[in-house]
Chains A and B, each alone.
Chain A
Amino acid sequence: MNVKRRTLLKGTLATGALGLAAAAGILKPARVLAAEWPKNAFEAKTVDEALKDVYGAGQATQSKDITIKAPIQAENGAVVPISVETKLPNVESIGIMVKENATPLIATVALSNGAAGYFSARMKMAKTSDVNVYVKSGGKLYSATQQIKVTVGGCGG
């Protein structure tokens, strides 16, 4: 047990050092910890920053062709089911962001080879928040928003 804790602590320290190096601009953080996993985007503190990191765009067009299926009121913020469905053609990517979470980006999924415009998952929400869904289709970015009320937060604890 103790040995395990040591390793874990060491792991945390190493990450901390990397974080510092990244902050100083020495390393490109997105490529350090996991190849191709967009670390910057997942650590962004605001929706706008995350959006820029993921899609390189600051603006998205509201679209009625995106359907968000999620509870209006979630009792437990630790497990909020959400599914996104879109009728837009040629969907390349779907991204989900929760505005009020410490790091808004929940997940992105790149779709190809006959995947339909659909993605579902269960997410954590700190508190009542707008949930933004972004769909990239034919090179353009579309979005839809739904508010989800949370009774008990699912982050920290």
Chain B
Amino acid sequence: MARLTKIKTRAKNGATEVLVLVNHPMETGQRVDPKTKQKIPAHFIQKMTIELNGKPVAVADLGVAISKDPLVGVMINGAKAGDKVKASWTDNKGESGNAETSV
């Protein structure tokens, strides 16, 4: 199942802020399905990598306590207009996704 991954950049205090939004349930594995009384298995993003022109700038390890549809932000110093920013992620079930934009 392809999940929607969005990336955008904006200038903030002389640096570039990169925001990544992924449409993902981020199940903790602790919630109980009210109908079946079974625990809903954990399903969450584990790794998110943000690259600038192909070089990793930020590698985030995320846990179950990140909210549903995670929005992750980092700042990059010295990024120029036209630079490529790419975000990619993988979750605990092997699903993955990525998105690319330019500053």
Residues of A within 8 A of B (CB): 8-9, 11-12, 15, 33-34, 36-38, 42, 78-80, 83, 98, 101-103, 105-125, 154-157
Contacts and interface: CB of A to CB of B under 8 A. Distances in A.
A12 B92 CA distance: 12
A115 B15 CA distance: 9
Contact of A106 (B65, B78, B92, B93): B65
What's the dominant secondary structure at chain A's contact region?
mixed
Given A33-B92, A121-B72, A112 B62 contact: no
A12 B47 contact: no
Interface of B is mostly: strand
B25 to A, nearest CB: 12
Size category of the binding interface on chain B: 35 or more
Contact of A109 (B41, B61, B70): B61
A122 B69 CA distance: 9
Contacts of B31: 156-157
A155 B64 CA distance: 10
Given A37-B46, A111-B58, A121-B72, 7 more contacts: A42-B61, A78-B67, A109-B61, A110-B59, A115-B74, A121-B66, A156-B28
